[in-house]
Amino acid sequence: MIDIRPFATLGHANHGWLDARHHFSFASYHDPARMGWGSIRVWNDDTIAAQSGFPPHPHSDMEIVTFVRSGAITHQDSLGNKGRTAAGDVQVMSAGTGITHAEYNIENETTTLFQIWILPDRRGEAPGWGQREFPGAGREGGFEVLASGTSEADDALSIRTDARVAATTLKAGQQAVWRTGAERHPYLVAPTGRIRVNGVEAQARDGVAITGESEIVVEALEDAEVVLVDAR
């Protein structure tokens, strides 16, 4: 099953400094038909104005993955971690028993990013944070795993859940193949470019919810970038 969630149908909140689109119910946006997809609970498409951001706030028992699409985000948390994640790179935060963090765009340009929350398999563990640069060449023409519950095998950032976060960049006419299990719940978004997923067309920034498929073939109808989460 390939279910296209058009960008225009996503939840929307514009706070001035933050223009957010919600693929699933979040904050004041509530749609009982879109409470998550498998263990994916949140997928926010955020545009953050220059010199602004999220002040300190707490989380617990959630795996939070940030994929920066343009600009950069600067992180600081109650564990003493600090870091700047730039376009194409990824940070992960395992909220565990509790963590307070702030995320600021201290750049002089707008930052765009996906923030993805995945339910953890394990609770009651200490919180943690990690960040990594991923050279763009590593995902040209095929999927590169960025964060994974089997991080050592995938050479990726570690998350405490049975999921993998991956990305690819495709030239028009190129294809990338992702193999999964028919019982799983992959979800993907192309932040740029029209794509075709197992024969079904999606526009840039549409959500594509998938289940019952053992192989996902993503074809770029124009130059495109694709971010995918394969969750249980």
Q: How far apart are CA 195 and CA 170, in angstroms?
A: 10
Give the long-range contacts of residues 9-14, CB within 8 A, separation 24 or more: 10/45, 10/207
pLDDT at 137: 83
Residue % of the chain over a pLDDT of 70: 100
- 29: β partners: 26
Pairing of strands 157-158, 200-202: unpaired
pLDDT at 93 over 90: yes
pLDDT at 12: 98
Q: What are phi and psi of 130, to 5 degrees?
A: -150, 155
* 64, containing H or E segment: strand 63-70
Asked if 170 and 224 touch (Cβ cutoff 8 Å), the reply is: yes
- pLDDT mean across residues, the chain: 97
Q: What are 42-80's pLDDT values in tens digits?
A: 999 999 999 999 999 999 999 999 999 999 999 999 999
Q: How far apart are CA 192 and CA 179, in angstroms?
A: 22
Q: What are 104-160's pLDDT values in tens digits?
A: 999 999 999 999 999 999 999 999 999 999 988 899 999 999 999 999 999 999 999
* 151, containing H or E segment: helix 151-154
- Which is the CATH superfamily of the domain at 2-231? Jelly Rolls (2.60.120.10)
